[in-house]
A and B are shown apart, each in its own frame.
Chain A
Amino acid sequence: QVQLVQSGAEVRKPGASVKVSCKASGYPFSGYYIYWVRQAPGQGLEWMGRVNANTGDTDYAQTFEGRVTVTWDTSISTASIEVTRLNSDDTAMYFCARMRIWNGHYLDFWGQGTLVTVSS
């Protein structure tokens, strides 16, 4: 069955970086994007970026361009997101989710979420 399993909770100080991973299984990876979506406490969903698991191509929301890097490692079928120059506003739950590349317009499977806390 389809699974997206994310790495565990992280705590960082302001100015540091964090990398969250998302291991995929149970489906043909090359046909899908992995999206990253975050949710600050009590807030809504915010798209951050995506990686094409077939080509490795990436796209980013303008808000995060230059501060976020999304990657796909084919050898371990794992997507990762790295966020640099963290501040308290980056405290959030970070989710990965998949979307079909061809004619795909929805996120049909999600990871369980990874809580990132930024605190001095």
Chain B
Amino acid sequence: DIQMTQSPSSLSASVGDSVTISCRASQNIGTFLSWYQQKPGKAPQLLMYSGSSLQRGVPSRFSGSGAGTDFTLTISSLQPEDFATYYCQESFSTTGITFGPGTIVD
């Protein structure tokens, strides 16, 4: 099974800061990596897919990079609505998916 880790587990930031979240896979997953944002009491929302493709409607201050085992999500200028928990998710396996443990941005 593929294991996903994220770092940091939480971070404190201010409006206007640039924020970077890391995600690591236990094996090479190519670019089969997506990022989600979740706010309390809500369903997750897709931000990025295929490592670096921005989902329609997501602000361009979000960007993703990486391939293989190491990936990053960057928020270039943090806005008040960006305080949330962020999850990475791999889909390399043909029979299922695995989420990272999440990173809280507060």
A and B, one complex?
yes
A47 touches B97 (CB 8 A): yes
**Contacts A62-B1, A95-B43, A112-B43 given: A106-B99 contact, CB under 8 Å?**
no
Classify chain B: how many residues form its interface, as a range. Answer: 20 to 34
Q: Does B91 contact A (CB under 8 A)?
A: yes
Kindly report which residue of chain B lies nearest to residue A49, judged by CB atoms: B96
- The answer, yes or no, to whether A82 is at the interface (CB within 8 Å) is no
Contact B50 A44 (CB under 8 A): no
Q: Mark B44-65, 1 if CB is under 8 A from A, else 0.
A: 1110011000010000000000
List A residues 72-120 near B (Cβ within 8 Å). 95, 97, 99, 105-108, 110-113
Among A45, A50, A61, contact of B87 (Cβ-Cβ < 8 Å): A45
In the complex, are the beta carbons of B96 and A61 less than 8 A apart? Answer: yes
CB <8 Å contact, A108 and B91: no
Q: Residues of B contacting A45 with CB < 8 Å?
A: 36, 38, 44, 87, 89, 99, 102
A85 CB to closest chain B CB (Å) equals: 21
Residue of A nearest to B33 (CB): A105
B45 with A105: CB separation less than 8 A: no
Given the contacts A62-B1, A113-B43, A108 and B55 also touching, CB distance less than 8 Å: yes
Inter-subunit contact B43/A111 (CB<8 Å): yes
- Given A44-B87, A45-B44, A47-B97, are A107 and B34 also a contact pair (CB < 8 Å)? yes
Q: Complex: how many Å from CA A119 to CA B99?
A: 27
Max count, chain A CB within 10 A of own CB: residue among B34, B43, B44, B95: B43
Listed in ascending order, the chain A residues whose CB lies under 8 Å from chain B are: 35, 37, 44-47, 50, 59-62, 95, 97, 99, 105-108, 110-113
* CB-CB nearest 6 A-B residue pairs: A105-B91, A110-B43, A106-B49, A106-B34, A45-B99, A44-B102
Given contacts A46-B99, A105-B91, A106-B49, 6 further A-B contacts (CB under 8 A): A44-B102, A45-B99, A106-B34, A107-B46, A108-B55, A110-B45
